[in-house]
Structure 1
């Protein structure tokens, strides 16, 4: 039961961190210019890597596991690239991101 409560607590912290990173810490410029084909002050890849890196940092800090932060960095960038290419909506994008958070909790609980 304690593991379940710890897992739920960790998921909630990761979800809160996600929404902080995706909305409060992402400027309008970053949200637009992280997508290929959008002209901006920097090439799109820099914006995407920076945005995903914020998420990776949040996951690393919250979990205390930098390798999970790296995994988040990579997966977050890939998910956002799919959204930029209009492969799915923002709703699916957010579900995929939160699914990653569930994966990190499972990895930590099963180790």
Structure 2
């Protein structure tokens, strides 16, 4: 039984937000925070690996919360692209966080409309 089917859309969004906070703060650490940005990474390989590892941590959170590997894969791509844009200076911290939470809201909508089974 998923969080959505048991407690509804708001509970699912809350669970996604909690998973996001865990992945972005205690599970990120100084190494990933530094190396996931091309401007502060020690090299191209380190940057790509760190950015992808960080996005994978988030992907795992979405998969665990939703039970959907498809949403986990979508999160991997979306999180990678959003953090890439922030790292390139396209937008700041607040916009970055709003974009991430907008993705989570989109996942809840997709689940509640039956577009994705969770």
TM-score by length of 1: 0.92
Counterpart CA distance in 1 for 2:64 and 2:21 is 15
Counterpart CA distance in 2 for 1:37 and 1:93 is 17
Superposition misfits of 4+ residues, deviation over 6 angstroms: none
- 1:18 pairs with one of 3, 13, 20: 20
Q: Deviations over 1:24-64 (max 9, x none)?
A: 10011111111114343852000000000000011001000
- 1:36 pairs with one of 31, 38, 47: 38
Aligned length: 109
Counterpart CA distance in 2 for 1:39 and 1:14 is 28
TM-score by length of 2: 0.87
Paired position in structure 2 for 1:92: 95
User: RMSD value over aligned CA atoms?
Assistant: 1.6
Q: SS at 1:12's partner residue?
A: helix
Structure 1 unaligned spans of 5+: none
Aligned-residue offset at 1:84: 0.2
